[in-house]
Structure 1
Amino acid sequence: MKRTGTSHIASAWHNIWSRWRSKLDEMLPWGSGRRSLWAALIALVLAVLVTLVWLAGRYETSQVQAELERDTADAVADLRSSLSRHVQALQALQSGHYMPATWQPEAQALLRDNRDWLRLEWRDKNWQLLSFSDSPLRAPAFERIARAEVLNEAAQACQRAKRLNGPAYSSTYFLPQADGLGVEVMELCLPVTQAGEFMGYTVVTYSLQELLTERLGPTFGRRNELSFVEPDGTRLAIAGTQRRERRVFTTQQLVDLPGNTLLLRMDGRRGEPDLFPNVLTALVTGMSIALITVMVLLAKDARRRLKAERDLADALAFRKAMEDSLVTGLRARDLQGHITYVNPAFCQMVGWEAEALIGQNAPMPYWPPEMVDEYQQRQAIRLAGNAPPREGFESVFMRQDGTRFPVLIIEAPLISVRGEQTGWMGAVIDISEQRRIEELSRASQERLQATARLATVGEMASLLSHELNQPLAAISSYANGSLNLLKDPQAEPQTLDDVHMALRRIAEQAERAGRVINSVHDFVRRRDQAREAVAPQALLDAISPLVSLQARKLHVRVHIRVEGRLPLVWCDRTMVEQVLLNLARNGMQAMDLPECRDRVLVLHVKRAASNPESAWVEFAVTDVGAGIAPEIETQLFNPFFTTKVEGMGLGLSLCRTVVEQHGGHLAFEPHAPKGTVFRFTLPAADGNAATGTA
């Protein structure tokens, strides 16, 4: 687990030198001889630094190892002291004349006081068992295997004890337990003598695991891992804790016992040694780091200078590329008026090469001859500094072929890095295309205004023709019905009443046509429509005759459902009636199919579903027709889009516009199992509007 100092230095030096060698040419932009001196100096300083740090680490490592060895020696001494006290306790047990009946309580007391004792036996001089006692703190040690099968080690220890006339320890051996595991044990044999006469033996069975835990664990096991090991490294018992540090320090010492020798191993995890174990090393290391820092700063300064030069070159190249790519002409002049710089766009604009323009002064070759005097006077004012900077003015230039073109010139002072003005920089923009576009724009604007007036007239005519179809159709139906009643020679007296009723309907529809004309007129001119508080039932009653005529013609049953206690709606009555009438008529026409037999149109009015207490009322028109195809859904509300042969495509567009002008929303969705539901919302009238005081 220990790393040698040679490998540590080699690894550190290789990493540092590789990193610096790869960047040395970039950091030190001088000659090869000076670069070699710098490299040698850096290598020497790094070598000194690494050596000092390594020596400091080795010193601290040796200190940690010495501390661990002292702990191991103390642990061996404590273990021997504990075993000596055990021998004294056994001698006290043998000191009196006792019988097995009096021996048992004292043996039990000793077993309770010593957790590392598994069994205590009293044998006579012929090795016969007189009495024994197992530890009350755990299961009997010889429960799984008979005691007679493992008496060999204890017998040998007792023979040595008899020869030595003192305590003797046996070799360790493995003792299986009833739980399927086992423990490593050792026997202690102490001869029993009374009045100088040999009487027998006292045998103690030790658990090596408990011996470590009880005798050394509380003192040395908090920071280290303790274990009894064999010479080949096999661990017989382990105690203590293993800390989560990166490095392990290990030491071993012999525990010499009469008749046996144990090998105690102590493993201690410690953090890596500090880099600065003493003031001298810290001082030398700090000075070395300071020297390296100075060298690094010098190298970085040289690298920054090189980088600044490269950045300056890149900036110049970028500015040159940007100026060459501009469509705006750039022209620089000194304080006397001589041209000092022109970009390719300016050369292309006037038709002259840069070499022919640089150094030129008034009159310039791109000035029209008839304007030379005026331009010279303007240049004199500009060079005198009387003109405000960055103020554009229009002028006329001449190309090399003699053609004139208008330009916009914007000039500003040219300031040097010292803050002094060295000339003037001008931006020249060819505005001939802009002038042409402005003329085209004016002409297009005039045409658009004329077209808008014509479109307004067409929109009004289209809406009038669409919306008057319904009242005129109703007038025609009532008129034809009246004529049919009057032509019938067998008509009953009630016929006259029916004719009167039809004539009233005709008058109502004629009045409705007039309102439609006025509403459409206001709608096209975007005027504010006259709105009022209207009961939802009144809106349905107003369109009911027209809906009934269409329903009878198409064999449709109309169901009207109005939720109770609905508030009044604030709307333009005529336009909302047209919306309801258009949606109802579209729904009935959608069911005018041979396969649609049960034709039912449902008009449903209720509070908005999103909030039953909200101030919105929802109108729904449901049919059971074929529904709306997906490819038609996106175009359904587009003006002049229709799927009908005779349709104009303005009905749904008008409906949505009217609903949105009221602040509501018109939408549709499929109806199960077939058909379509059109829904729109109208705002409820507040208290003032409902009473007519608004």
Structure 2
Amino acid sequence: MVRWAWRRWQGAWRRWSLWTLLVALVAAMLVTVVWLAGRYEASVVQSQLERDTADAVADLRTALARNLQNIQALQGLAPGGSQWQVQAGALLREHRELVGIEWRDRALNVQAQAQSPFFPTRGERGNSDGAHSDTALACANAGRLSGAAYSSSYFQPQGAGLGVEMMELCLPLSTAGRAGGYLVVTYSLQNMLTELVGHNLTRRQEVSFTEADGTRLAMVGAARRGTRMFTAQQLLDLPGNTLVLRLDGWHAAPSLFPNVLTALVTAMSIALVTVVAMLVRDNRRRLSAERELGDALAFRKAMEDSLVTGLRARDLQGRITYVNPAFCEMVGFSPAELLGQSSQAPYWPPELAEEYWHRQAVRLAGTAPPREGFDSVFMRKDGTRFPVLIIEAPLINAVGQHTGWMSAFIDISEQRRVEELSRASQERLQATARLATVGEMASLLSHELNQPLAAISSYATGTLNLLEVGPGSDSAALQAGLQDARTAMQRIAHQAERAGRVIKSVHDFVRRRDQAREAVPAQELLGDVLPLVHLQARKLGVRVQVALEPGLQPVLCDRIMVEQVLLNLTRNAMQAMDDPAIAVRVLDIRVRRAGSNAHSGWLEFSVADCGSGITDDTARQLFTPFFTTRPEGMGLGLSLCRTVVEQHGGFLGYGPHTPRGTVFTFTLPFARPAPETH
């Protein structure tokens, strides 16, 4: 009996061993077939993608070389001429990857340009003269290589938060063996991929230019199709720049079985291990989900502990459901004291509680914008107040439902303190500049006041002589003497008023007051500074010309600060003409609307002189604080002028004045009319 049981156990063990071995062999064979099939198909797809990448790079090199030949044909034309413009425009229409063509002189100043009709205006960077860093580097490489050179790519904003990546080609020009300038051609990386890469490639995969770290600069191609991604990269080596061309191909899982019969046999073979495989898979998924959940919780905790920005979450009823440690440290309350609060938060100042409650009600009602930032004042647990910047956004759960609001809080106490210090420092510098200006005018005042005071003295002496009437004088002589005395007294009053106006102009300019912007006509701004301008102009022999465009609207500005800008610019202009070699000394002051549009919102002031102009060395440091070309100067005038103009939202610049000299120009915004009340 025992022997029979032993033999039965041995038979069962052999059967289970054989079945187990068979299942293991089938599973191993299946796994091997699946692995080999997947590797083979993946290698085929990857090889094809590598060939497509190499073909795309070859297409780009060929197209760029062809474009270079077409661009070189422009060298034989007169720069800026009509034929050059026609040829450049035709080239831009035929090649949409080209955004613009510029002819620049050796100093990289734009002499002629053509813009692609298929591309919006390139903006402030593309239209500006001068040696931009990317353009200057590309042209320097082109000069060193004696051939075409490319710049590194840069981002060109297009408005509404959008933009494109650009790259520039610099081609040196030569006339009779001498350098004659450069042809600068701007490429759009997006259009290069669209126009120069074969459409059969972009229909099947994504084609993009990337940086070395993988950041995408431009991308075209098909959307994602499949569950596996294959990537191939190839360097597009250009003179002066190297781009990385990347192709991403999305494919479905590789085909595992070549025919239906093999699929059926394999399905029958794997039926034995299906249940075990499913259990193992489910167990692994559960363990993986638990590990990922633990990692996510640990990551969130570490992130919360490292943040300096306060975070707070509220539900749709306004109850606080979450606060991070930074927020608790900011207000001085613990999470237990904050969670669940709804009607009145403990960090609201009592005097502002009603206002905050109304703002919270508006937010919870859903009538406010979904995302906004605003300043507020919070109260710490010890009662101290501090300013905060609040940014709120809807809180959306995993299924897309709106469950509350998430708020971010930034303590801006230090920022406000720095802004106040900066404002006070700026006011001190402005006051110093005004006092320095008055110090320079002290000698001019003494000269200017001598004339009315001397006239007053002369008229007073004459009046006293007229009043000394002899005893034998008749009534007619007495009346004539009184009339002459009355005329002399009127002239004395006129001269005294003239001296008073000079002193009042300087007094009004020097006195310090708080900044207050108001609507001021341009005539009043000039009228307040012209007495001081004429004061110095008469001493230096300068003729002052003033031209105002009719019908100008008032500008919104700080009167005193803008008057200081005008006075500094006119004083600098007259000092630039203080040279015996300059025979004609004319100071030209003009006021007109900025731009050609009559409804432009800006007013342009220009101050032109007939001096010797500004050298390149001086131009590089012209607006640097404490830089001056005069031994007695402080070097603060132009720096403060630019600061004042930029604080008003305007722009201060300069340029050459025809036939000689320099013209400084700045803009100020028009004052908007007050809204009508009903």
TM range (shorter): 0.3 to 0.5
TM-score by length of 1: 0.36
Query: Which structure's CA Rg is the greater one?
Result: 1
TM-score by length of 2: 0.37
